Structure 1
Amino acid sequence: MEHTDASAPPTVLVVMGVSGTGKSTVAGLLSERLGWPMEEGDDLHPAANVAKMEQGVPLTDEDRWPWLDRVAAWIDDRSRTGEPGIITCSALRRAYRDRLRRPNVTFVFLSGTREVISRRMAARSGHFMPLSLLDSQLATLEPPGPDEQVITVHLGATPDEEVAQVLRAL
C-alpha cells in the first residue's frame, strides 16, 4: 500500500480501477465509515457512453473527456465547499488522473489479476459493462506511479478488509 502524504487526510478519494474491481462497494463502505458523501462516477457518464459500453464497444479518449470533466466538476464542488467526498472513476490512464488531480485528491487504486476481476464481473448483475470489455480496460490501464498520491489495495480480501486497508493508510 502506498500513500505519499500520511500527515493529512485527503479531502476527496477517487476510488479507481478497471470495471469489476469493486469500486462501488469499496466507495460505499468508505462513505459509511467516514461519513463522507459519495458519488457514483458511472452515473456521470453521458448516455452515449453508456450505450456504447452496453453494446460492448470500448470508449475512446474522446468519449471519456466529457465524463472526466463531470467527475472533476464534482471534485471541485467538494473543494469549493470544503467538504470531503468519495467518487468512483476508473481513471485508467495517467492522463485521465491528471484531469482529476488536485492537491486534496488521493486515488484509491483497486488492483487485481484478470482472473479475480473476471470472477467478480461474472458474479454481478445489472451492470452495463459486459465482461467482454475487461481486456480492453486492462490494456488501457496505466497503474499509478510512485509520484502519484495513491493508496494501492491488492484485491483478494473481503471488501471490509480492503476498506480497512484504506482507512489504515489514511
Structure 2
Amino acid sequence: MKIILIGYMGSGKSVVGKALAVQKQLPFLDLDEEISRREKKSIPEIFSDAGEIYFRRKEAEVLKELLEQEANFVLSLGGGTPCYGKNLELIKNAAHTHTVFLKTGLEELTARLIKERENRPLIQEFDTPALLNDFIRKHLFERNYYYNQSDLSLVTDDKSVPQLVTEIENYLN
C-alpha cells in the first residue's frame, strides 16, 4: 500500500506522514527530500540555480520512479506536485495507492508559513501576513481542483497529529 499525502505547503503532510508511517510500520518518504538528495542541493538552491520548470520536471521524474516501486510507503508530496503535468494522473493510476488531502484553513496556513518563508522559494518575497494570505488564497483557489480529487479529504484545523493519523487509519481499514 502506498499512502500519498497531498495538500498545500504548511498543511502538515510531513509531520502527519511521519507519524502515520510509524503507526503503519512503513517507510516515510518526502518527495522534496528525495529530490534534494538526488540533486545534492536544497529545494531553494534548485529553484535558484535551475528554476521552477527544471524542478517540476525533476519532481515528476522522481514521483514516477517512486510510484513504480513495489515497496509500500507513506509519501508526502510537495504542495504543487499534484497540480503539474500528469502527476495526479500518475498517482491515481498507480496500483495500491491511497491519496489523502490534508485540508488546512487559510488563516492557519498563513500563520504557519509566515514563520517559514526563508525556506520556501515560492513565498520568500511575501513579507507581511496580508500579502502571504492573498498569495495562499489565490493558490488554494487554483490547486483545490486537484487536491479535492483525493480519496480522502481531512480538515486539519484544531486537530492533533494523532487524531489525523487515527482518521486516516480508520479510512484505510
> Does 1:103 pair with 2:92?
no
Residues 155 and 143 of structure 1: CA distance in aligned 2, closer, same or farther (over 3 Å):
farther
- Superposition map of 1:86-125 within 5 A: 86-89=74-77, 90=79, 91-93=81-83, 95-101=86-92, 102-123=94-115
Mapped pair 1:151 → 2:152: yes
Name the CA distance, whole Å, in 2 between partners of 1:54 and 1:122: 20
Name which structure has the greater RCO, CA cutoff 8 Å, separation 6+: 1
Give the match's secondary structure for 2:95: coil
Unaligned stretches of 5+ residues in structure 1 = 1-10
- The match for 1:59 is 52
3-state DSSP class of the match of 2:56? helix
Distance 2:25 2:118 in 1: 27
Secondary structure at the aligned position of 1:69 is classed as helix
Q: What amino acid is aligned across from residue 85 of structure 1 in structure 2?
A: F
How many residues are treated as equivalent by the alignment?
A: 151
Q: TM-score, normalising length from structure 2?
A: 0.71
- CA gap of 1:67–1:28, structure 2 versus 1, over 3 A, is same
The Cα of 1:43 is off from its aligned counterpart by: 1.2
TM-score (norm 1): 0.72
The Cα offsets for residues 73-125 of structure 1, whole Å up to 9 and x where unpaired, read as: 12222x2xxx3111111334273211333121111111122111122223558
Q: Which runs of 5+ in 2 are unaligned?
A: 127-131
Alpha-carbon RMSD across the aligned residues, in angstroms, is 3.0
**Whole-angstrom distance in 1 between the partners of 2:142 and 2:45:** 20
The percent identity for this pair of structures is 13
